[in-house]
Amino acid sequence: MTDRERGSNDYRYGANVVSAAGTSAPARTRFRLWAPTAKMVEVELEGAGRSQMSADSDGWFEIELPCGGGAAYRYVAMTQFEGEVNVPDPASRAQRGDIDGPSLVVDHDAYVWQNPQWRGRPWHETVLYELHAGLLGGFDGVRARLPALAALGITAVELMPVADFPSDRNWGYDGVLPFAPDASYGTPDQLKALIDAAHGLGMMVFLDVVYNHFGPDGNYLNSYALPFFRDDLHTPWGKAIDFRRREVRDFFTENALYWLREYRFDGLRLDAVHAISEEDWLTELARRVRETMAAEQPGRHVHLVLENDHNRAALLRDGAESHGHAQDRFDAQWNDDWHHVMHVLLTGEQAGYYEDYAQDCAGKLARSLMQGFIYQGEASVSRDGRRRGEPSAHLPQTAFVNFLQNHDQTGNRAFGERLTVLANPHALRVAQALLLLSPHIPLLFMGEEYGSRQPFLYFTSHRDHSLASAVRDGRRKEFARFPEFADAEARTRIPDPNQEATYRASMPEAGTDVEEPDGFAWREWTAALLKLRRAHIAPRLRGSSALGASAIGPAAVCARWRLGDGAALGIVVNLGETDVPAALDAVLAPAGADVLFDSGGVLQALERGVLPAWAMLAVLEPALESVLESAP
């Protein structure tokens, strides 16, 4: 049994087991579907034929049938425009086979949790590790890797979307059945076993969810629920989802609660919410999730994270838990600004959106280290002068998830190159030290911990050849604006997303880099940095604040933060290839400070007035009270 009694769930959508099989009665399941443009709907239960569902005036169809977990079914709808259509449940809990196969009833109370008392970890302890379940062998393959990740110092794994998508190869952002784990990754119980094992190791598990669109293949909602979408507003993926409707809002809010309740995920990352026009739904979602989980499982930590190109600081928690907006705000946002300026510093690339970060790189990095967002209302050159962002200096450092690589920033390159093949290795190691020792929430992308050189490419497995060709050609056309792909022949070298070879080339261990000496050295470097973070930084993050930061060279910055216990963290870093003048007492306040990290002879060089190339020093200054107490 879950923390809630069976039958007490309030899901409006999908097939929900309302009573288990007893000695004298079979299990019973309630089926509900919102089909406002259908005249009639039947449930076709495998082995039992069709049963007509009762309808109400709001477009809901419902029936309760004698069946339980494992039952296979479809909906048969008589629609206004297409006649009879045979479709899976849009809130299918699992599919037998692919997206157009039968949906399966899942009895979530049948799984016996091995770590039922788990209540998560506080947000400030988070070290994220983003991964693609399919590339790592499905849910069982990921579970097998958890002990090594826990030993490394990872406290949370984040799964790229697992919602059912067409065929068996996809990033996950083409999902069309948001409640169903893709069968190519494993069963619902295998996903639960992954999460259960992580909790046993003290690790959280996050899920990336997509609420801004459905994939182009296998979405049948237009057949029987046209009002699910808007005719007057379009996104890069087609008609916008109509979040003005209560039924639509509840569909996705229930989805968020479903993953958190039934699978016990510790947090969700909401993909590209800037493509959701009704922003008030986001605050409604956050409030409902927090209130529901607090009522059902008091004391459980549940974390909500955004990807939002608009840099909307107003959606993020500011640390003042006492005010009335704490419940309807999000814990953090993926900070593309930090990534972009670091990428320019490490690679020198200035095309596309990197153009916005090409000038005063060190100054922009200093701003990000202190205030999170770089763009806080300024005009963006790459966006034709449109203003972007809101002031964010009032937010805690933990409101920002920083990263050097992730699925987007690697996979959206033509050849999916990682920084290990783009950047100077000395600069990259220092950049990773800055990522893991700054007081923001760090994220590593799978393979990054051992310096993988395998590409991460964009891949799909669309069943429709015309769609597959359109995706391939569209991707190649997208890169035509880059000088190196101006020639049509050059664009043909960009890997075809629908080819299986593209998928296999993206497997982190398709090469041997994990077994090479440099791979072991990278892993030891990562582990050492995470050990320092766990011991000296994470415990002090609550209540921390920025003290100041400034550029001290073309690629060099110094920064200081007041930590929650009164101590101060100071970092000075040079990502450039030339030394810069820097006096120790001018960039840090080292009196009584302990050296937390030295990339190699940096302290001595600073005492001589030089900050070396590719160098970083981090120091911890004790709280003022501690200094006074130790004074003679």
Indicate which residues carry an active-site annotation: 271, 307
Tokens (6 digits) for 604: 């001595």
Cα 101 to chain centroid, rounded: 28
Tokens (6 digits) for 318: 């500011």
Cβ atoms 167, 202 nearer than 8 A: no
Q: Report the C-alpha gap between 549 and 235 in whole angstroms.
A: 38
Nearest in space to 282 (alpha carbons), one of 231, 243, 242: 243
| CA-based torsion, 516, 518, 522, 528: positive or negative | positive
Q: If you search the block for the tokens 């958890």, which residue do you land on?
A: 146
Tokens (6 digits) for 509: 């261990």
| CA-based torsion, 407, 413, 414, 416: positive or negative | negative
Exposed/middle/buried for residue 488 (C-beta within 10 Å: 0-12, 13-18, 19+): exposed
CA distances from 309 to 171, 234, 287, 530 (A): 20, 17, 22, 29
Exposed/middle/buried for residue 141 (C-beta within 10 Å: 0-12, 13-18, 19+): middle
Beta strands in 308-396 (DSSP E): 332-334, 378-379, 387-388
Which element (helix H / strand E) includes 489?
Answer: helix 488-491
Cβ atoms 143, 197 nearer than 8 A: yes
Cβ atoms 135, 431 nearer than 8 A: no
- Axis crossing angle, helix 279-296 with helix 246-262, rounded to the nearest 10: 40
The total of other beta-carbon atoms located within 10 Å of residue 178's CB is 24
Maximal CA-CA distance, the chain: 89
Beta-bridge partners for 444 = 129
